[in-house]
Amino acid sequence: MASINKLERHQARMGYLFITPTMLLFAVFMVIPVVMALYLSFTNYDVLSTNDWVGLENYRRLIGDTLLWQTFVNVLFYAVVFVPFNILISLLLAMLLNKSKGGVKLFRTFYYLPTLTSAVAAATVWIWMLHPEYGLINGMLSYVGIAGPAWVSQTETAMISIILMTLWQSVGSNMIIYLAGLQGVPDYLYESARLDGASRFACFRYITWPQLRPTTFLVSILAIIGALQLFDQAFVLTQGGPANVTKTPVYLIYQQGFNQLQMGYASAQAFVLAMAILIFSLISMKLTKAEEPIV
Amino acid sequence: MRKGLMVTLVIVMLGALLAGCGGSNEGSQGSEGKDGKVQLTFWGDWGGEGQKQFETMVDAFNQSQDKIEVKYVLQQDMITKFLTAATSGGSPDVLFWDRWRTSLYAPKNVLRPIDEYMTRDGINAGDFYEESLKELTYNEQLYGLPLTVDARALFYNKKMFAEAGLEAPTNWDELEKAATALTKWNGNKLEVAGFSMADPGLFSMYLQQAGGQMLGEDGKTGFNSEQGKQVLKFWQRLLNDNKVYKVGFEEGLGEGNDAFVTGKVAMLYTGPWMMSTYNKYGKDLEYGIVPPPSGPKGDQGSVMGGFGLVIPQGSKHPEEAWEFIKWWTANKDNAMLWAKTSLNMPGFKPALEDDFFVADPLWKPFTETLEFAKTRPTHPGYSVMEENALIPSLELLQQNKQGIEGTLKKAQEQGDKLLADNAVVK
């Protein structure tokens, strides 16, 4: 007995030792900053001169901060449109490119390319394409007799422009994730379904879709988190305008913290954002857990 | 027990790591050099051409005397860097400073007042624009000297004006007539905009021309007034009745396709910083500049901006830093060298009276505009108020989604709240 205990102890010690570097980095760059931010959200920290405990003052101010809540509504609208389209388009692309025909690899590369371009460079090109008078998109619309809007400058279409651009940029990488998921679906399921005379749609509905549930969960969670943290595309394309419709919480937090030096209040705002991400992740987890994949 | 040990170990290692982070900033602090010269560090966020221009000035200063050696350090993200430097050491000795930031940073005690140096060395405050000094002042203490000044004036396309037989406008009515005459529509498509209305942030400039105030004496917004309404009525006439512009018309055109360069915009408000772009890309562009047209009661208005040089509290050699600032900003020859190197308007008035500026028809309108131009109000929440409350509300008006009264009321309510939330913490 004693020797087994000793062995276990040795293994445990080694185990801790091996995970120490990772845990250390995790603690330094994740845990400590998060705890610090939580603490700062109860202070009037301004980086330079003050760091006093103000209790719930920052959180009281949050309630009346209409602009912050508007930015949450903005990203919520963004998420509601972006997440389903993101799943739909990347899944369709993945199913299209899941064949082993010649040239498929070329297309995979093409669809993945936008992911590799920098958001700022891509946004510059998109602004040009979306130009009301000389842009490609309104040019094409004018052939069919539609006078296109001033995409990025009008309140109705500004957020849609951002969604278009981020979709173009993100479906590539999600397509890769779906491709991996599709390759993991066992062939015998399709084989037996075909023997039973299942249609193509039935195969998708009862085999592919349920089998891909973990993949869909991953893709949608990443998309939701990405949506709540939307910043650079929105910043380059519209600078938060017009009329605040494309301002996002991250933009506001940055402005409050680094431009206005109200780090304490910015931390409180950031904490609300973190909570929102947590809640949406939990909801998404619940929804996906409801139906386990059949094996 | 085992757990306890591990936790202690982790904490110890963490401590070592953090200590390592803290100590690394010391090296950059200026000190006595080998040859007995005082080494100064000068931070700025101008790279490329701007960096070369700064280095020209720094070299000239280093050669002009043998006690101080200045080194320019480019900090892309200067303000964030300065935040860390001001609290943990490694602060520079001279900082290139966007003047409007003074009202936010001076109350936090990170900048050094220079009043005693000014009196000691007999620097005449009258040699600088009062407005530009006001922007560098907090609680009646001066925190730096203006290095550059700028203001927007009206640029107009000379060829288009000549073809239409028009003169450069001097007041709102003439501006409206000229803009209407020069605008060309092709069905639904705007081909030439008579006057650019791309930037609703210029509201403050129009408000001055109408004789109004952005902030009242009480530190609250003052634009929801008769003058504010006059400005918005003027905008509505231009946008809706005369259709001289279309929202989003200039969005994303970039330098080479700039709407003014390519003759798609006949007039616009902009500053001297655009002249190099126009000269570079506008081979066929002939433009003239006039001071901004005056409002209904003859008031003139433009917004003065620009940069200054300040000394952070953390500097170990404030005396030498002051010598450098004084040499650059308060000496006509050096201010002219700076002006000719960088094509910026120096903050030193005697330099602006030089023929270089006064005899040049492109510079003269700016020196005239600076005589009446006003800086932005010195309230630490002013820029957030403009960006998050006023401009969004004005954009709704420009897109015909909100009336004049509603626009001003909404901007006032939200603006007052932002001003209060971002006021100086006592």
Q: Edge-to-edge strands of the sheet including B148-151?
A: B345-346, B148-151, B303-305, B374-375
- Considering Cα of B422, then B423, then B424, then B426, what sign does the dihedral take? negative
Residue A242 has its nearest CB partner, among B104, B246, B399, at: B399
First to last CA, chain A: 41
Nearest-neighbour CA in chain A from B223: distance (Å): 18
Classify B121 as helix, strand or coil: coil
For A222-248, give one letter per residue: b (16+ CB within 10 A) or e.
bbbebbbebbbbbbbbbebbbbbbbbb
Q: Edge-to-edge strands of the sheet including B267-270?
A: B267-270, B153-157, B287-290
Q: Which residue has the tokens 């000239």?
A: B60
Token couple for B346? 């120096």
Residue A147 has its nearest CB partner, among B188, B380, B425, at: B188
For B77-112, give one letter per residue: b (16+ CB within 10 A) or e.
ebbebbbebbeeebbbbbbbbebbbbbbbbbbebbb
Report how far residue B368's alpha carbon sits from residue B296's, in angstroms, rounded to the nearest whole number: 20
Which of B95, B251, B255, B262 to mutate against chain A (most A CBs within 10 Å)?
B251
B window 81-140, beta carbon within 8 A of A: 83, 86-87, 104-105, 107-110
Residue A24 has its nearest CB partner, among B13, B104, B383, at: B13
Helix (H) or strand (E) holding B310: strand B307-310
State the virtual CA torsion across B13, B16, B18, B24 in degrees, nearest 10: -150
Whether residues B396 and A128 touch (CB distance < 8 A) is answered with no
Report how far residue A281's alpha carbon sits from residue A196's, in angstroms, rounded to the nearest whole number: 38
pLDDT digits (tens, 9 = 90+) for B372-426: 999 999 999 999 999 999 999 999 999 999 999 999 999 999 999 999 999 986 5
pLDDT at position B78: 94
Whether residues A152 and B251 touch (CB distance < 8 A) is answered with yes
Q: Are B416 and B386 in contact (CB under 8 A)?
A: no
Whether residues B108 and A133 touch (CB distance < 8 A) is answered with no
Whether residues B396 and A155 touch (CB distance < 8 A) is answered with yes
Residue B252 has its nearest CB partner, among A127, A241, A262, at: A127
Whether residues A67 and B252 touch (CB distance < 8 A) is answered with no
Helix (H) or strand (E) holding B43: strand B38-44
pLDDT digits (tens, 9 = 90+) for B315-342: 999 999 999 999 999 999 999 999 999 9
Helices (H), chain A: 2-26, 32-40, 57-63, 66-96, 104-116, 119-129, 136-143, 158-183, 187-195, 200-203, 209-211, 213-228, 232-238, 249-254, 263-289
Q: What 3 state SS string does B221-281 have? A: ECCCCHHHHHHHHHHHHHHHHCCCCCCCCCCCCCCCCCCCCCCCECEEEECHHHHHHHHHH
Nearest-neighbour CA in chain A from B186: distance (Å): 11
Compute how many other C-beta atoms are within 10 angstroms of the C-beta atom of residue A185.
Answer: 17
Task: Give every residue of chain A whose pLDDT is below 70, as ranges.
Answer: 1-3, 289-295
Whether residues B392 and A241 touch (CB distance < 8 A) is answered with yes
Whether residues B388 and A67 touch (CB distance < 8 A) is answered with yes
pLDDT at position B168: 95
Q: What is the DSSP string of A33-58?
A: HHHHHHHHTTB---SSS---B-TTHH
Instruction: Tell me the domains of chain B and their CATH numbers.
Output: 29-150+305-375 (3.40.190.10), 151-304+378-421 (3.40.190.10)
Q: What is the DSSP string of B316-339?
A: S-HHHHHHHHHHHHS-HHHHHHHH
Q: Which residue has the tokens 């100086």?
A: B424
Whether residues A23 and B109 touch (CB distance < 8 A) is answered with no
Q: Is residue B371 less than 8 Å (CB to CB) from chain A?
A: no
A10 contacts on B by Cβ (under 8 Å): none
Residue A155 has its nearest CB partner, among B2, B401, B425, at: B401
Residue type, A292: E
Which of A18, A260, A263, A265 to mutate against chain B (most B CBs within 10 Å)?
A260
pLDDT at position B29: 45
Whether residues A133 and B189 touch (CB distance < 8 A) is answered with yes
Token couple for B22? 């803290």
Q: Are B115 and B142 in contact (CB under 8 A)?
A: yes
Compute how many other C-beta atoms are within 10 angstroms of the C-beta atom of residue A255.
Answer: 18
pLDDT at position B283: 86
**Please, which residues bridge with residue B43 across strands?**
B73, B95
pLDDT at position A49: 86
Q: Is residue A106 less than 8 Å (CB to CB) from chain B?
A: no
Report how far residue A123's alpha carbon sits from residue B401's, in angstroms, rounded to the nearest whole number: 27
CA B369 to the chain's CA centroid: 15
- Beta-carbon contacts of B66 under 8 Å, excluding residues fewer than 6 positions away, are B37
pLDDT at position A100: 80
- Considering Cα of A239, then A245, then A247, then A248, what sign does the dihedral take? negative
Compute how many other C-beta atoms are within 10 angstroms of the C-beta atom of residue B374.
Answer: 18
Nearest-neighbour CA in chain A from B316: distance (Å): 18
**Please, which residues bridge with residue B221 across strands?**
B215
pLDDT at position B30: 45
Instruction: Tell me the domains of chain A and their CATH numbers.
Output: 39-98+170-289 (1.10.3720.10)
Q: Is A135 exposed, middle or buried (0-12, 13-18, 19+ CB in 10 A)?
A: buried
- Beta-carbon contacts of B206 under 8 Å, excluding residues fewer than 6 positions away, are B231, B234, B235, B295, B301
A4: Cα within 13 Å, side-chain hemisphere: 1
Q: What is the pTM of this model?
A: 0.86
Q: What are the angstrom distances between the C-alpha of B84 and each of A47, B308, B346, B377?
A: 8, 21, 30, 27
Using only C-alpha atoms, what is the Rg of chain A? 24
Whether residues A24 and B188 touch (CB distance < 8 A) is answered with no
Task: Give every residue of chain B whose pLDDT is below 70, as ranges.
Answer: 1-34, 255, 425-426
- Beta-carbon contacts of B357 under 8 Å, excluding residues fewer than 6 positions away, are B339, B345, B351, B363, B364, B366, B367
Return the axis-axis angle of helices A263-289 and A66-96, rounded to nearest 10°. 40
Residue B248 has its nearest CB partner, among A32, A47, A154, at: A154
Whether residues A241 and B2 touch (CB distance < 8 A) is answered with no
Which of A30, A261, A269 to mutate against chain B (most B CBs within 10 Å)?
A261
pLDDT at position B33: 57
Q: Is residue A11 less than 8 Å (CB to CB) from chain B?
A: no
Q: Which residue has the tokens 């609300």?
A: A272
Token couple for B380? 């630490």
pLDDT at position A292: 56
* Phi, psi for residue B380 in degrees, rounded to 5: -60, -20
